[in-house]
Homo-oligomer: A and B are copies of this chain.
Amino acid sequence: MTAQDLIRPGAVIEMAHGGGGRATARLIRQIFARHFANPLLDQGHDAAVLPRPVGRIVMTTDAHVVSPLTFPGGDIGSLSVHGTLNDVACGGAWPIALSAAFIIEEGFPLADLDRIAASMGAAARSAGVPIATGDTKVVERGHGDGVYITTTGIGVVPDGVEISPQRIRSGQAVLLSGTVGDHGIAILSRRQGLEFGTGIQSDSAALHRMVADMVAAVPGIAVLRDPTRGGLSATLNELAEASGHTITLNEAAIPIRPEVAGACEMLGLDPLHIANEGKMICICAEEDAEPLLTIMRAHPQGGDAARIGTVGDAAAPGTPGLLRMTTLIGGMRIVDWLAGEQLPRIC
């Protein structure tokens, strides 16, 4: 039986593909198993058995509902792999396996599903992390939106690594691995009525190799966090709140592509609120900042790494820390996070 057997012209997802019978088995064999092939998945059980890990386990999950499904620089398939690998890396861990659960709308073209699965398989292979197990459900036309993919990742944390906002201290440095806003603006550029042909690509990328080098050199890193939904402002506000320390950014030091800055200005968006999918925030001791920046810059995903701020004093007991920023014109402003929704379904 070949893939062409299933993916003939005009073929679409039918409710039977989610029924758990022969049609489901055929869909899994001809699309998912073909693109994701690896020894763990090929066990063919409902549950994949992984080798005995040496260290503590990190577990993270993300539902991906990005719209549109394909955008400049990626698609929901590669994004769902990168997003979860990066969350594992945020635990200071090396990812060892992914799971993938699909909720597909009746009528979704099988050729599109095949392309998304191919992109997902390629992202996982390129990352060196197997998609070990999965699940497929089908919902009726009008009760989904093409395909939603929930990926879960597990990884192993090396001994001595303790990533936690509770380890944030006054005087630590705040590093960022590259430019802000690329993913969100790339998505926006594809949404109906907002095409502005800037050639901006999503930064969607797997960061676990860069993080592994960082953690190996500086096991004492306090925090790693990828500024996705809600952007830099949401992520750093969360860290300021959780740690009870003020964080001060230096606007001039935050890397941003001119075309992203231009698009933000045109659309009235604050680039600090915009989602990234291939960037990492690192908070570390002052003396570790330069060595870590050197390591980040040696990776393709960290070429524009910069020190963007400093952890300030602890707030009064019981009050949350604040995020503030020295602006380009030398003032100081509070950087709040969004109360509402700026860019829905960005990931």
Q: Contacts A21-B337, A50-B56; is A135 near B61 (CB within 8 Å)?
A: yes
Is A140 positioned at the interface, with any CB of B under 8 Å from its CB?
yes
Alpha-carbon gap, A140 to B59, bound state (A): 28
B16 & A228 in contact (Cβ 8 Å cutoff): no
A152 & B22 in contact (Cβ 8 Å cutoff): no
A96 (CB) vs chain B CBs: closest residue: B57
B residues in contact with A275, CB < 8 Å: 20
- Tell me the chain A residues, 137-178 only, with Cβ under 8 Å from chain B: 137-140, 142-145, 148, 150, 152-155, 157, 163-165
* Size class of the A contact interface (CB-based, 8 Å): 35 or more
B52 & A47 in contact (Cβ 8 Å cutoff): no
**Chain B: minimal CB distance from A268 (Å):** 17
**Chain B: minimal CB distance from A195 (Å):** 20
- Of B61, B148, B242, which contacts A152 at CB under 8 A? B61
A60 & B99 in contact (Cβ 8 Å cutoff): yes
Is A332 positioned at the interface, with any CB of B under 8 Å from its CB?
no
Max count, chain B CB within 10 A of own CB: residue among A15, A157, A345:
A345
**Chain B: minimal CB distance from A70 (Å):** 17
| 3 A-B pairs closest in CB distance | A20-B229, A20-B230, A21-B338
Binding site for B on A (CB under 8 A): 14-16, 18-25, 43-53, 55-65, 87-88, 90-91, 93, 97, 99-103, 132-140, 142-145, 148, 150, 152-155, 157, 163-165, 225-226, 228-230, 234, 238, 242, 273, 275, 337-345
